[in-house]
């Protein structure tokens, strides 16, 4: 019976040593960086998934920044309109007092001056700005929307435009960021500044104070309706913020599971690689000491 000695035994051992060294080097790199993926070749599929996850995470961060800025401007606008509603409520009460028929001319003039002060207060609120931009100017955010104008019947002119801005708050979801002052403070049947001017004129001349007061009341109701846009928008922003925050937490956890090395397993891999390496070296050393007679039967 013939004896076969594999001529590739050294190649097998060398290949095993090379593969084992690669495993050992990879494990050492994982310990040094704390990451399972340090090169694209480590796991191309996982690396591609990480790129997608990081892109989504970066997008969510930008959406959250948009929401934060927009929430701030919405809250400021809502607060300004609350003050407008409060001022109009006071104006309506002044009108009711003036329409009572018991006040003399001097008293009516004092009430008229109060209405004029309220009109100036509301004009200031209509010119509210946030981060250097006017909130009620439409898209003309660098233009002061309301200015005093003696040639206007209301005494005030609107210099903004009728347009609205929008911003993306999540993937494929955008929302308007404002209402123009031309929509908030007036429509075809209501005009805040004209109603106040009419009440001022009625008090000054002891004219139709009741009619002017009703006009102010109608303008008050209209502004209150417009204000709901901001309250509803803030609620929507809070919901979007909650969703994005939860999504980012999930994305971070997924990335961590894909990227972070299991140190206990990695150390075990190193130990195993070192054991295997020593066994291969020992096998190589033993083979080098053999000759053909070691393969012959001892009983001959």
Whether pLDDT at 2 is above 60: no
Note whether residue 268 is domain-resident: no
- Range with the lowest mean pLDDT among 40-49, 96-105, 150-159, 230-239? 40-49
Note whether residue 21 is domain-resident: no
Domain count, the chain: 1
Q: Which two tokens stand for residue 115?
A: 């209405």
Note whether residue 151 is domain-resident: yes
Average pLDDT of the chain, as a whole number: 83
Residue ranges making up the domain that contains 172: 52-255
What percentage of the chain exceeds 90 in pLDDT?
A: 60
For residue 260, is it left (φ>0), alpha (ψ between -120 and 50) or beta? Answer: beta
Note whether residue 91 is domain-resident: yes
Is the distance from CB of 172 to CB of 198 less than 8 angstroms?
no
Give the mean model confidence (pLDDT) for residues 39-57: 69
- Range with the lowest mean pLDDT among 13-17, 84-88, 109-113? 13-17
**CATH for 85:** 1.20.1330.10
For 170-222, what is each residue's pLDDT tens digit? 888 899 999 999 999 999 999 999 999 999 999 999 999 999 999 999 999 99
pTM for this one?
0.72
Give phi and psi for 191, each to the nearest 5: -150, 110
Per-residue pLDDT, 214 = 98
Note whether residue 146 is domain-resident: yes
196 to 112, 115, 130: CA distances (angstroms): 10, 7, 26
Note whether residue 98 is domain-resident: yes
Note whether residue 206 is domain-resident: yes
Note whether residue 99 is domain-resident: yes
Length of the chain: 300
* Confidence label for 128 from pLDDT (cuts 50, 70 and 90): very high
Whether pLDDT at 167 is above 60: yes
């Amino acid at each position: 019976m013939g004896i076969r000695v594999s001529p590739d035994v050294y190649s097998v051992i060398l290949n095993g040593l090379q593969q084992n060294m690669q495993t050992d080097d990879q494990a050492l790199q994982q310990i040094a960086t704390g990451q399972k993926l340090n090169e694209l070749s480590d796991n191309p599929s996982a690396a591609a998934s990480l790129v997608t996850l990081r892109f989504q995470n970066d997008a969510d961060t930008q959406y959250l920044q948009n929401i934060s800025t927009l929430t701030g401007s919405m809250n400021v606008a809502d607060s300004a309109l609350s003050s407008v509603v409060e001022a109009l409520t006071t104006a309506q009460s002044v009108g009711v007092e003036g329409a009572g028929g018991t006040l003399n001319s001097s008293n009516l003039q004092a009430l008229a001056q109060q209405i004029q002060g309220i009109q100036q207060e509301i004009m200031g609120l209509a010119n509210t700005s946030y981060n250097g931009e006017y909130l009620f100017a439409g898209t003309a955010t660098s233009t002061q929307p309301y200015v005093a104008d003696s040639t206007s019947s209301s005494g005030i002119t609107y210099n903004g435009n009728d347009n609205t801005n929008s911003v993306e708050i999540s993937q494929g979801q955008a929302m308007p960021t404002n209402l123009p002052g031309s929509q908030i403070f007036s429509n075809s049947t209501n005009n805040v500044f004209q109603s106040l001017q009419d009440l001022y004129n009625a008090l000054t001349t002891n004219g139709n104070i009741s009619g002017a007061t009703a006009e102010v009341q109608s303008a008050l109701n209209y502004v209150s309706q417009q204000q709901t846009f901001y309250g509803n928008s803030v609620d929507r922003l809070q919901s979007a913020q909650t969703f994005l925050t939860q999504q980012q937490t999930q994305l971070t956890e997924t990335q961590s599971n894909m990227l972070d090395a299991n140190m206990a397993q990695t150390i075990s891999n190193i130990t195993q690689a070192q054991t295997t390496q020593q066994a291969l070296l020992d096998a190589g050393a033993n083979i080098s000491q053999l000759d053909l007679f070691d393969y012959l039967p001892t009983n001959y």
